[in-house]
Structure 1
Amino acid sequence: MTAFHRPLAAAIAAQGVPLSADMARLSPERETGLRELAARAEGDEFFVSDCEGELQVWRETALTHVRRNETGTITMYSFPSSYRSTDEVIRIDLDTWDPGEDATDDKRRQDINDLVNARAAAATLLAELDAVRKERDEFCDRVDTLTAVAKGNKRHVQEMFLELQKAQAEVAQWRATFGADALPDALARLTKAEAERDALQKRLHDAAMTRTWRNEDGKKFVFVEDIAPALLGLEPGTEADR
């Protein structure tokens, strides 16, 4: 605090923001102080006047005949003829009128402008902080999801590996028991049996679709030459079909 002008130090303390030389991470207490400062600063902007050796900070709402440019910066103003004691935030008498003439005065000018700008920027910086935290939390959620998926995939791969080892052991046991060619022979017989099954299913289907006739008493019948090819697996019109 001793590095600042005494009235300036009092003004800083009045804002409730502790000053420290360390640049540690933002503590909950300091963040609370900044949020309270941003809340107080909302709609209550400060304006720095540096004129004829007087460095002043005014509340913008107290100024009169205010004109602004397209960015909202005040370009013309007048001091009020009467005002509340809190409208003039701070006044510092400098030894010089213009910057660059005295290092101490220049330091005071810079400190005042920095503090006013920091006060105005608090809300913007806190909003950016909130946005960064939100993005961080979303990223952490994605990391948690990907981690869970990766763990699930790892378990699945482990299970597949165990199943593969089990299958390899069963194949080795089969070959040791029935011979190296037993498994291919069994698969060939299975393929042949499946083909015969499919052919039989087709013959039964064809037999079921054989044309039926009715006699005088209304009972249905089929001719042998119509149903025999399907039941016996013969081509219609062959000698064995007769």
Structure 2
Amino acid sequence: MKRTENTIVNETWPHRPQVLEVEVYHSRRLLHSAVHLYAESPRGRHLVAVAHTIDNNTVPTPQDLAYSNEGGNNFRTVSLNPRRGERGMVIKTHEGDWALVTAEWAGLCNGVPADGRGRPGCPGHLVLKIHQLRQFQTRSIILPYERREYTFCLGGVTIDMERGVLEVGVGNPCLVENISLALSAAVLHVLCQPRPDRPVIGQTNRIPVEKLSMLHALGYYADSAPHNSFLRSCMGVDCGGCGSCGGCGGCGGCGGCGGCGGCGGCGGCGG
């Protein structure tokens, strides 16, 4: 298991900044990822929130429930489908379970080479379903990666993936819970985004993860991260995330996201 530590500094009051410490854990041996959020108090450092991955031992599959979860927002239909590459995390505080978040990678489109202009592919995006366990509410959020926007808002927290900055509005009633939600979204990106199994050469239509500081801090490049590509290649899990056959669309290395149909390097679009 590998642990990384990060610090969140509340700069609202520069003369008395509040510091939250974040510990991120990834383990391929345990197939487990977790985020621990700590705060300082007069009694010292203490744990204020935990988010960790869950699997079908905790949340059933759609087949177990004998229903389709396509487009459903019914709170009672919480499920986790590993065949679609869905991953989940539960967020907890001292009051118990606060939210269950599921995520999957969607919107993939393979690039198509042609004699004339080829059709560029699309790297896709992350779809989050946030199940508020105390309010019995569910909402779906699509992160706007296809528009090349890497800043979005969750629960009153604005997440800037590029700068690695979280902005929280004054008076947020669930501060640590929503910060944990934002960090969980980044961890789920780490786990769900398809990855190439070989180097990517040339111009591609892809997500510039090397420029997204938030993903770096949450373990995108950690060898211990149990992401979907690892699960598929090493365990045979049918999650569609390995990137070795053009099915991923996340890297461009094989035409899955415009690597050979959208850059012009091989004549795919008239170049």
Q: TM-score, normalized by length of structure 2?
A: 0.20
Q: Which has the higher contact order (CA 8 A, sep 6+)?
A: 2
Q: Which has the larger radius of gyration?
A: 1
**Bigger helix fraction:** 1
Q: TM-score, normalised by structure 1?
A: 0.21
